């Protein structure tokens, strides 16, 4: 992670792919995105993290030029989506939250028709399709109807489809939601490869491990606002302690025990089922608790993660 | 493999070529790519369903033209010339089937693609504009209408029901009619939220089919009702095709054609606006 940071600061003028200033989207009285600022640099994997309803998908739609902003400024590759929507969309690959593959078509036909929507020639697309099917590990599914694919395959095909126009920016809205662990790992591997060849990734997720795995830099959003920004390591360093001690005293006792735990660790987070003790040394904190005569039902010492940052910033657990 | 394209014919280069042109945000100049998608979908769909659109007007013709026509005998036109009943209703059935086909395509099919297939959402996340989608979809409805019209004419011409060489014009006329209905229909469909509301479309279509001078002349109506019926698109459609197949070519035909030209232009504007509001707002 420090390496990435050094690279960015060393480069005096990193190419900015996306710039948002005071970006706002309202639906009637409801403010979905509330004046956010961020920049995405070339070749970076940028994450938008937040609970459901935080405004992630709305932000993605505005970048993808399928939703017009209500206020603020937004430029994608120096172009304003309000004026150059179709042009910007030619730069982008879009992988929506819900698969919108064409169920009436076969796997290769999905790629062919999508490429044609961009005006690409079918002779060129034929070789491109071979390449993309190999990339998505779907070569043997070429002539299968899309509806017969598994969830993981559908998602890989949607990503392959998003790459038909050889985009500079690939937008992924919750790319692994609903996939089993194996399918997720295959997908992450594919996304890493894209990053290696220089594709800029913009990813929304509510999986903390995914954000830590994939993103160079991310923003945490809540209620339409950006709560924090940085690399996963920076965020953990700034908003959490080195280690976390998780103790359980039983659902009914956690609240009363929390009073006795005061003074142990840097900070406490009381969840319905457990208490989190943020500390530089988890084992030492546990010893203190035991020495004070408290006996948790279970205890666990672990390294701090983005989930802890998330809890602190949005003040809630991820319930989806 | 190279994933970032810098070539001349990249998607970006193609999109940038339209910069500064009128309506560049709405139209990418590629409705044929939307049409092509339907060709692919048709290849793997049920051909019997496609065939049904052709069979329906033929069945009506047999039942009413020949079955009922036997009881009626012939009718006379405004100048007193006798016309066989089947020859009187054949053009009306062609006009109706052009309307039905276009409405079916632009309501049921479009509704499905909009809400369940999310086909338009996918199309409009590429560099296509809403007008490309509208024109491609409507073009598809027209191609279908054209084939049905040719098929219908191939059946009725040998029966002697086309009484003038002007009758050939019935085919482009049927396409024009389908164009009018499809362009308005797609815009209306964009307002519908569920399948029940689709019944409202049928609720208007059936009486229009029965009372628009399909089976008898409007002269049976009182003047006020006649004026209302004459303003409806199906009456205009029937009068146009009947003019051609019976060979009554006069100034009234120009009026019927203009009616549909206006309907098409307004329909396209309306549909494009709606697609933009739904998917790009």
Domain boundaries, chain B: 29-279
Selected for mutation to probe chain B from A113, A123, A148, A201 (highest B CB count within 10 Å) is A113
Domain boundaries, chain A: 2-237, 241-304
Q: Locate B168 and state its tokens.
A: 């050939």
Which pLDDT score, from 0 to 100, does residue B219 have? Answer: 87
Residue in chain B nearest A145 by alpha carbon: B44
| Residue of A78, A84, A104, A131 to mutate, testing the B interface (most B Cβ within 10 Å of its Cβ) | A104
pLDDT band per the 50, 70, 90 thresholds, residue A269: confident
What local confidence, expressed as pLDDT, does residue A128 receive? 96
Residue in B3, B24, B280 nearest the CB of A197? B3
Q: What is the pLDDT of residue B8?
A: 52
* CB of B149 closer than 8 Å to CB of B232: no
**Of B5, B36, B45, Cβ closest to residue A116:** B36
pLDDT tens sequence across B4-61: 544 557 888 898 888 888 788 888 999 999 999 999 998 877 777 777 778 888 898 9
Distance, in Å, from the CA atom of A219 to the CA atom of A229, rounded to the nearest integer, reads 4
Three-class SS state of B75: strand
Q: Give buried/exposed letters for A75-87 (b at 16+ CB in 10 A, else e).
A: bbbebebeebbbb
Set of chain B residues whose Cβ sits within 8 Å of the Cβ of A94:
125
User: In percent, how much of chain A has pLDDT > 70?
Assistant: 94
Pairing state between β A169-173 and A200-205: parallel
Residue A98, judged by CB atoms within 10 A of its CB (0-12, 13-18, 19+), counts as exposed
ipTM of the shown complex: 0.83
**Looking at residues B144-155, what average pLDDT do you find?**
90
Cβ-nearest to A113 among B28, B36, B280: B36
Answer yes or no: is pLDDT of A202 > 70.
yes
A96, B40: Cβ pair inside 8 Å? Answer: no
**Which pLDDT value is given to residue A8?**
42
Backbone angles phi, psi at A50, to 5 degrees: 170, 165
The nearest alpha carbon in chain A to B129 belongs to A86
Q: Categorize the per-residue pLDDT at A206 as very low, low, confident or very high, splitting at 50, 70 and 90.
A: confident
Contact A105 B44 (CB under 8 A): yes
How far is the C-alpha of A217 from the C-alpha of A5, rounded, in Å?
A: 9
Q: What is the pLDDT of residue A89?
A: 95
CA distances from A159 to A28, A173, B184 (A): 33, 11, 35
Q: What is the pLDDT of residues B177-223, one digit of tens each?
A: 999 999 999 889 888 888 888 888 888 888 999 999 898 888 889 99
Q: If pLDDT is split at 50, 70 and 90, which confidence band does A10 have? A: very low
Q: What is the 3-state secondary structure (H, E, C) of chain A?
A: CHHHHHHHHHCCCCCEEEEEEEEEEEECCEEEEEEEEEEEECCCEEEEECCCCCCHHHHHHHHCCCCCCCEEEEEECCECHHHHHHHHHHHEEEECCCCCCCCCCEHHHHHHHHHHHCCCCHHHHHHHHHHHHHHCCCHHHCCCEHHHCCHHHHHHHHHHHHCCCCCCEEEEECCCCCCCHHHHHHHHHHHHHHHHCCCEEEEEECCHHHHHHHCCEEEEEECCEEEEEECHHHHHHHHCCCEEEEEECCCCCHHHHHHHHCCCCCEEEECCCCEEEEECCHHHHHHHHHHCCCCCCEEEEEECCHHHHHHHHHCCCCCC
Token code pair at residue A23: 């970006």
Q: What is the pLDDT of residues A38-63, one digit of tens each?
A: 999 999 999 999 888 899 999 999 99
User: CB neighbours (10 Å) of residue B270?
Assistant: 17
Question: What would the two tokens of residue A311 be?
Answer: 């809890």
Residue A149 predicted with pLDDT over 50: yes
Q: Which residues of B touch A98 (CB under 8 A)?
A: 118
Give the C-alpha distances (Å, rounded to integers) separating B19 from A86, A167, A176, B27: 9, 19, 36, 11
The dihedrals phi and psi of A51, each to the nearest 5 degrees, come to -70, 170
Q: What is the pLDDT of residues B108-137, one digit of tens each?
A: 888 888 888 789 999 999 999 888 998 999
Which helix (H) or strand (E) segment is B152 a member of? Answer: helix B130-156
CATH of A241-304, one of 3.90.380, 1.10.10, 3.30.70, 3.30.300: 3.30.70
Q: What local confidence, expressed as pLDDT, does residue A13 receive?
A: 56
Q: Which residues of B touch A89 (CB under 8 A)?
A: 15, 125-127
Q: Nearest CA to A68 among A46, A90, A85, A55?
A: A85
Residues 213-272 of A with CB under 8 A from B: none
Q: Does B16 touch chain A (CB under 8 A)?
A: yes
Question: Is the distance from CB of A160 to CB of A99 less than 8 angstroms?
Answer: no
Q: Out of 4.10.140.10, 3.20.20.70, 3.40.50.300, 1.10.1660.10, which CATH number does the structure's domain A2-237 have? A: 3.40.50.300
Please name the residue of chain B whose CA is at the shortest distance from the CA of residue A116: B33
Chain A residues 30-69 with CB within 8 Å of chain B: 64-68
At B66, is the pLDDT very low, low, confident or very high (cuts 50, 70, 90)?
A: confident
Rounded to the nearest angstrom, the gap between the alpha carbon of residue A97 and the centroid of all alpha carbons in its chain is 11
**The predicted structure's pLDDT at residue A1:** 34
Min mean pLDDT across A27-41, A97-111, A254-268, B86-100 is at: A254-268
Window from A208-222, A259-273, B149-163, B206-220 with minimum mean pLDDT: A259-273
Nearest to B140 by CA among B113, B169, B167: B113
Residue A68: closest CA among chain B residues belongs to which residue? B281
Dist. CA B54–CA B50, nearest whole Å = 8
Total count of residues recorded for chain B: 281
Instruction: Report pLDDT for A318.
Output: 46
Query: Which of A65, A109, A118 lies closest to B14 in CB terms?
Result: A118
Residues B92, B246: contact at Cβ < 8 Å? no
Chain A residue closest to B4 (CA)?
A: A166
* Residue to test with chain A: of B6, B122, B131, B137, most A Cβ within 10 A: B122
B65: buried, middle or exposed (CB in 10 Å: 19+, 13-18, 0-12)? Answer: buried
Q: Which residue of A has its CA nearest to B26?
A: A86
Mean pLDDT of B64-87: 83
Other C-beta atoms closer than 10 Å to the C-beta of A186 total 18
If you average pLDDT over every residue of chain B, what do you get?
Answer: 88
B19 touches chain A (CB under 8 A): yes
Give me the residue from A94, A103, A119 closest to B28, CB to CB: A119
Strand partners, A248: A298
> By CA distance, what is A70's nearest residue in B?
B281
- Are B280 and A68 an interchain contact pair (Cβ–Cβ within 8 Å)? yes
Give every strand in the sheet of A267-270, ordered side by side: A267-270, A275-279, A243-248, A298-303
What average pLDDT score do residues A161-182 get? 92
On whether any CB of chain A is under 8 Å from the CB of B20, the answer is no
């Amino acid at each position: 992670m420090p390496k990435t940071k050094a690279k960015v600061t060393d480069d005096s003028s990193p190419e900015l792919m996306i710039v948002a200033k005071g970006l706002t989207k309202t639906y009637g009285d409801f403010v979905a995105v509330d004046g956010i600022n961020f920049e995405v640099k070339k070749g970076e994997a940028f994450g938008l993290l937040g609970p459901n309803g935080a405004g992630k998908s709305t932000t993605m739609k505005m970048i993808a030029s399928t939703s017009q902003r209500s206020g603020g400024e937004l430029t994608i590759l120096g172009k304003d989506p309000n004026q150059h929507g179709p042009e910007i969309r030619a730069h982008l690959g879009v992988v929506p939250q819900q698969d919108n593959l064409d169920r009436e078509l076969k796997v290769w036909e999905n790629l062919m028709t999508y490429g044609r929507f961009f005006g690409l020639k079918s002779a060129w697309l034929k070789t491109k399709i071979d390449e993309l099917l190999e990339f998505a590990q779907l070569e043997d599914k070429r002539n299968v109807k899309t509806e017969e694919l598994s969830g993981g395959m559908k998602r890989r095909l949607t990503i392959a489809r998003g790459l038909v126009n050889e985009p500079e920016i690939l937008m992924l809205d919750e790319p692994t939601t609903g996939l089993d662990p194996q399918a997720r790992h295959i997908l992450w591997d594919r996304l890493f490869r894209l990053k290696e060849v220089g594709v800029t990734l913009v990813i929304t997720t509510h999986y903390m491990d995914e954000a830590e795995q994939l993103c160079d830099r991310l923003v945490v959003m809540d209620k339409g606002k950006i709560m924090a920004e940085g690399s996963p390591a920076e965020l953990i360093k700034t908003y959490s302690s080195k280690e976390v001690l998780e103790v359980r005293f039983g659902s009914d006792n956690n609240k009363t025990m929390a009073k006795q735990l005061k003074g142990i660790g840097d900070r406490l987070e009381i969840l319905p089922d457990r208490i989190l003790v943020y500390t530089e040394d988890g084992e030492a904190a546990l010893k203190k608790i035991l020495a004070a005569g408290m006996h948790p039902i279970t205890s666990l010492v672990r390294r701090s993660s983005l989930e802890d940052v998330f809890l602190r910033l949005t003040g809630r657990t991820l319930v989806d | 493999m190279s994933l970032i394209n810098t070539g001349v014919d990249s998607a970006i280069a193609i999109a940038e070529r339209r910069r500064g042109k009128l309506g560049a945000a709405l139209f990418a100049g590629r409705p044929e790519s939307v049409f092509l998608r339907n060709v692919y979908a048709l290849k793997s769909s049920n051909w019997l369903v496609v065939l049904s659109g052709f069979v329906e007007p033929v069945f009506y013709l047999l039942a009413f033209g020949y079955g009922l026509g036997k009881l009626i005998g012939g009718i006379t036109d405004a100048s007193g010339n006798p016309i066989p009943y089947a020859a009187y209703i054949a053009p009306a059935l062609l006009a109706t089937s052009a309307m039905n086909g276009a409405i079916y395509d632009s309501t049921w099919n479009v509704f499905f693609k909009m809400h369940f297939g999310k086909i338009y959402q996918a199309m409009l996340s590429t560099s296509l504009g809403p007008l490309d989608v509208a024109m491609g979809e409507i073009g598809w409805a027209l191609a279908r209408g054209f084939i049905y019209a040719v098929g219908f004419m191939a059946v009725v011409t040998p029966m002697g029901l086309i009484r003038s060489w002007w009758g050939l014009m019935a085919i482009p006329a049927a396409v024009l009619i389908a164009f009018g209905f499809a362009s308005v229909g797609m815009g209306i469909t964009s307002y519908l939220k569920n399948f029940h509301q689709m019944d409202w479309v049928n609720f208007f279509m059936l009486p229009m089919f029965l009372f628009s001078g399909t089976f008898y002349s409007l002269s049976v109506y009182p003047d006020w009702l006649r004026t209302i019926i004459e303003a409806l698109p199906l009456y205009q459609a029937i009068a146009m095709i009947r003019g051609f197949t019976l060979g009554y070519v006069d100034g009234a035909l120009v009026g019927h054609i203009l009616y549909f030209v206006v309907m098409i232009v307004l329909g396209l504007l309306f549909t494009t606006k709606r697609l933009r509001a739904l998917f790009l707002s």
